[in-house]
């Protein structure tokens, strides 16, 4: 293949908040991880491996948040996932029997049963329950560029006044990445693409070469960017910022115009957990017995009304292939247009949440595989690339300061700062101050105090997850988000008083360490003020 006219960087941001409740035998929100494994992570791994085995060359970038990495490696959650999968295998087997006189549904029951059995085999036998291994293998096979993110997905622009806390989020995030992938991160995903001018300097300290930012962060940067988002900008610190391309994002993200809303695709909101007789599905619900999504969904989107037709996987796959072709064609045209204005090959950066693929857009992983295949075989205009590779190819770029921005609704901090969640910041900021206070006054600490101080840092980090503020805003699962902020705040303050008064309850500390058990490598001194 001759030199392409441009490059496409697909970036999948892979994140779940840390949700692990050993104190309860089963817990509704733990299912987020389980569903993401079955519907997104395993399907993506399967397809990427198939592409490797078929010797289709490609490059893809994925960020992994430290909270997700911690959960993927956690034995308790691993065991609970297998239990969850076993229940689905049992339920889908019953569905095969129940639907024997309804061929369209019977076929789907067989389809799901097979999927769950395959998932179990992959997860237990092939990947030995730890999905970090197969992702590492994809790195070794040269197709995946993994990038880091901040420790608990804290939204950094709203920590502007607490630079030590920002730096700690980034530093611990990079450490977690290195633990999982055995190398320092080349790239960094700022949670919610939340960029505050100056934060890039902290990334520089960590040796990070680039991060992702929303389009207007670059377009409104100063001086004015010559190439817009089609080339990276070099921040004053020397770290590169790659801007999100809105056109390609929209075709996947948008509920109205995007591919995932196609009538042939699977309907997310019709699930047998809600559709079938209560007593029949009851054994597969959680302890409180509220109906929930099981993941077994029999209908296609069909149209705008509640009348739904049975899902037809073949027809949906056909549509995914068409949409992949359409996306490829549009990128070819886009690259040709942009190349005609630029004096070098542009890069189009298309970041998405990984969980969009498979969990929300059931056919998304197939679409991705088709796109990657087609991009290799059916066109020569652009080539898939990672931002890191592009930087090596084009090391000279314009220096500018990007503008504060995020990829949330409105483009700034509105999603994480509004009447539903603004009350949390006075507490989060105070916690950051207190953490710095005790870390600075305890540069040397005995073993027990060190443990307490490290646990304080964990509670602070967990409270800072942007997920809680987001959930408070969206009005679903709000009680849970409230409880999480509350609990981490209460645990933190308890430890703060204990450390200050030199009266640490070791039993209580051990309980907290067992509950909020992420980041075993953490060193609280990252919060100490510079002397």
Partner 1 sequence: MRRRPASATRTRRPASREPKPAISATGATPATRTPPSVSPPPAHSVHSHPAAASHPVAPEEKFSIPTGYGDDLIALMVKDPFWLYAYWEIQPATERAARSHLLPSEIPGLQSILRVYDVTGIHYPGQPAHRFFDIGLSGLATNWYIQTDAPGRSFIVEIGLLTKGGKFLLLARSNRVTAPRWGPSDVIDEAWMTTDDAYWKLFGMPPGIGGSSPSAWGRLIAQQLSSAGGSSVGFLGPSKPAAVRGFWCRVNTDLIIHGATEPKATVVVQGQPVVVRKDGTFSLRVALPEGTQTIAIDVTSSNGQHTRTITPIVNLTWSGNLASDPSKTKSSAPSPSRPSGPEHA
| Least separation in angstroms between CB 56 and partner 1 | 26
Options 46, 57, 82, 94; binder of partner 1; rule CB under 8 A? 94
Show the binding pattern over residues 414-453: x = contacts partner 1 (CB under 8 A), - = does not: xxxxx---xx-xxx-xx-----------------------
Identify the helix (H) or strand (E) that includes residue 483. Answer: helix 478-501
Are 264 and 231 contacting, i.e. CB atoms less than 8 angstroms apart? Answer: no
> With binding defined as CB under 8 A, does residue 293 bind partner 1?
yes
Stretch in the footprint of partner 1 (CB under 8 A) among 91-99, 132-140, 375-383, 441-449: 91-99
If one counts every other C-beta atom within 10 angstroms of the C-beta of residue 140, the result is 9
| Least separation in angstroms between CB 167 and partner 1 | 17
Q: How far is it, in rounded angstroms, from Cα 127 to Cα 141?
A: 16
If one counts every other C-beta atom within 10 angstroms of the C-beta of residue 288, the result is 8
Are 261 and 255 contacting, i.e. CB atoms less than 8 angstroms apart? Answer: yes
Tokens 């045209």 label which residue? Answer: 333
As a whole number of Å, the end-to-end CA separation of the chain is: 56
DSSP states of 38-92: IIIIHHHHHHHHHHHHTT----EEEEE-HHHHHHHT-HHHHHHHHHHHHHHHHHH
Q: Which is nearer to partner 1, 190 or 206 (CB)?
A: 190
Q: How far is it, in rounded angstroms, from Cα 103 to Cα 298?
A: 12
Options 341, 344, 506, 521; binder of partner 1; rule CB under 8 A? 341
Q: Which is nearer to partner 1, 206 or 348 (CB)?
A: 348
Stretch in the footprint of partner 1 (CB under 8 A) among 132-140, 176-184, 212-220, 443-451: 212-220
Show the binding pattern over residues 250-289: x = contacts partner 1 (CB under 8 A), - = does not: x--xxxxx---x------xxx---xxxxxxx--x--xxxx
Q: How far is it, in rounded angstroms, from Cα 50 to Cα 73?
A: 24
Options 20, 209, 216, 458; binder of partner 1; rule CB under 8 A? 216
| Least separation in angstroms between CB 446 and partner 1 | 23
Q: Which is nearer to partner 1, 206 or 499 (CB)?
A: 499
Write out the binding residues for partner 1, residues 106-165 only, by CB under 8 A: 106, 110, 113-114, 117, 157-158, 160-161
Q: Which is nearer to partner 1, 207 or 223 (CB)?
A: 223
The contacts of residue 357 (CB under 8 Å, 6+ apart) are 12, 40, 43, 44, 364, 365, 367, 368
> With binding defined as CB under 8 A, does residue 243 bind partner 1?
no
> With binding defined as CB under 8 A, does residue 486 bind partner 1?
yes
Show the binding pattern over residues 300-319: x = contacts partner 1 (CB under 8 A), - = does not: ----xxxx-xx---------
Identify any residues that bridge with 240 across adjacent strands, giving them in sequence order: 210, 234
Q: Which is nearer to partner 1, 175 or 354 (CB)?
A: 354
Cis bond upstream, residue 223 (ω within 30): yes
If one counts every other C-beta atom within 10 angstroms of the C-beta of residue 316, the result is 19
| Least separation in angstroms between CB 247 and partner 1 | 8
Q: Which is nearer to partner 1, 9 or 206 (CB)?
A: 9
By the 10 Å C-beta count (0-12 exposed, 13-18 middle, 19+ buried), 29 is classed as: middle
DSSP states of 135-191: HHHHHHTTSEEEEEE-TT-B-GGGGTT-HHHHHHHHHHHHHHHHHHHSS--SEEE-G
Q: Which is nearer to partner 1, 98 or 204 (CB)?
A: 98
The contacts of residue 460 (CB under 8 Å, 6+ apart) are 165, 431, 432, 435, 488, 492
Show the binding pattern over residues 34-73: x = contacts partner 1 (CB under 8 A), - = does not: -xx-------------------------------------
Stretch in the footprint of partner 1 (CB under 8 A) among 72-80, 298-306, 447-455, 522-530: 298-306
Stretch in the footprint of partner 1 (CB under 8 A) among 87-95, 120-128, 313-321, 368-376: 87-95
Q: Which is nearer to partner 1, 56 or 219 (CB)?
A: 219
Options 28, 52, 317, 448; binder of partner 1; rule CB under 8 A? 28
> With binding defined as CB under 8 A, does residue 344 bind partner 1?
no
Identify any residues that bridge with 237 across adjacent strands, giving them in sequence order: none
9: three-class secondary structure by DSSP: strand
Longest dimension (CA), the chain: 75
The contacts of residue 530 (CB under 8 Å, 6+ apart) are none
Identify any residues that bridge with 382 across adjacent strands, giving them in sequence order: 6
Tell me the HSE value of 278 on the side-chain side, using a 13 A CA sphere: 3
Q: Which is nearer to partner 1, 3 or 23 (CB)?
A: 23
383: three-class secondary structure by DSSP: strand
| Least separation in angstroms between CB 508 and partner 1 | 7
Options 6, 146, 187, 228; binder of partner 1; rule CB under 8 A? 228
Options 74, 192, 264, 363; binder of partner 1; rule CB under 8 A? 192
Tokens read off for 181: 């992938």
> With binding defined as CB under 8 A, does residue 521 bind partner 1?
no
315: three-class secondary structure by DSSP: helix
Identify any residues that bridge with 145 across adjacent strands, giving them in sequence order: 61
| Least separation in angstroms between CB 447 and partner 1 | 21
| Least separation in angstroms between CB 412 and partner 1 | 4
How many residues form the binding site for partner 1 (CB under 8 A)? Answer: 150
| Least separation in angstroms between CB 319 and partner 1 | 18
Write out the binding residues for partner 1, residues 358-417 only, by CB under 8 A: 359-360, 398-400, 403-405, 407-417
Options 50, 54, 83, 102; binder of partner 1; rule CB under 8 A? 102
């Amino acid at each position: 293949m001759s030199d392409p006219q441009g490059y496409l960087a697909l970036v999948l941001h892979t994140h779940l908040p840390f949700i692990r409740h050993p104190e309860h035998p089963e817990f509704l929100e733990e299912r987020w991880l389980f569903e993401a494994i079955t519907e997104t992570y395993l399907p993506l791994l399967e397809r990427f491996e198939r592409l490797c085995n078929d010797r289709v060359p490609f490059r893809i970038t994925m960020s992994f948040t430290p909270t997700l990495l911690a959960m993927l490696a956690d034995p308790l959650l691993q065991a609970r996932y297998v239990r969850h999968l076993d229940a689905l295998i049992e339920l889908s087997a019953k569905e095969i029997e129940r639907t024997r006189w309804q061929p369209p549904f019977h076929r789907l029951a067989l389809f799901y049963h097979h999927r769950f059995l395959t998932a179990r085999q992959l997860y237990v036998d092939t990947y030995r329950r730890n999905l970090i291994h197969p992702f590492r293998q994809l790195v070794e096979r040269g197709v995946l560029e993994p990038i880091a993110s901040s420790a608990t997905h804290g939204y950094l622009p709203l920590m502007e006044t607490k630079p030590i806390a920002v730096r700690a989020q980034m530093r611990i995030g990079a450490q977690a990445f290195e633990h999982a992938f055995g190398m320092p991160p080349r790239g960094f995903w700022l949670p919610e693409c939340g960029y505050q001018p100056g934060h890039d300097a902290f990334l520089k300290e960590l040796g990070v070469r680039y991060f992702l930012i929303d389009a207007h962060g670059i377009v409104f940067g100063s001086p004015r960017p010559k190439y817009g988002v089609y080339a990276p900008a070099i921040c004053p610190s020397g770290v590169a910022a790659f801007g999100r391309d809105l056109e390609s994002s929209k075709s996947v993200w948008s509920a109205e115009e995007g591919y995932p809303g196609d009538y042939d695709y699977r309907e997310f909101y019709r699930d047998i957990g809600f559709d079938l007789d209560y007593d029949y599905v009851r054994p597969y619900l959680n302890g409180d017995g509220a109906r929930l999504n099981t993941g077994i969904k029999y209908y296609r989107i069909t149209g705008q009304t509640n009348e739904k037709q049975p899902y037809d996987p073949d027809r949906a796959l056909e549509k995914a292939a068409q949409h992949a072709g359409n996306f490829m064609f549009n990128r070819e045209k886009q690259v040709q247009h942009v190349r005609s204005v630029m004096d070098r090959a542009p890069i189009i950066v298309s970041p998405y949440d990984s969980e969009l693929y498979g969990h929300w857009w059931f056919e998304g992983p197939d679409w991705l595989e088709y796109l990657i295949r087609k991009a290799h075989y059916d066109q020569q205009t652009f080539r898939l690339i990672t931002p890191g590779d592009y930087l090596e190819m084009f090391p000279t770029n314009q220096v500018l300061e990007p503008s504060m921005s995020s990829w949330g609704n409105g483009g700034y901090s509105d999603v994480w700062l509004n009447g539903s969640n603004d009350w949390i910041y006075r507490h989060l900021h105070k916690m950051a101050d207190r953490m710095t206070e005790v870390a600075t006054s305890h540069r040397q600490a005995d073993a027990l105090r060190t443990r307490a101080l490290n646990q304080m840092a964990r509670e602070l980090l967990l409270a800072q997850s942007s997920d809680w503020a987001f959930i408070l805003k969206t009005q679903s699962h709000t009680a849970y988000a409230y409880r999480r902020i509350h609990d981490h705040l209460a645990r933190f303050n308890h430890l703060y008083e204990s450390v200050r008064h030199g009266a640490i309850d070791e039993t209580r500390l051990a309980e907290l360490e067992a509950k909020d058990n992420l980041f075993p490598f953490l060193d609280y001194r990252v919060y100490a003020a510079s002397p």
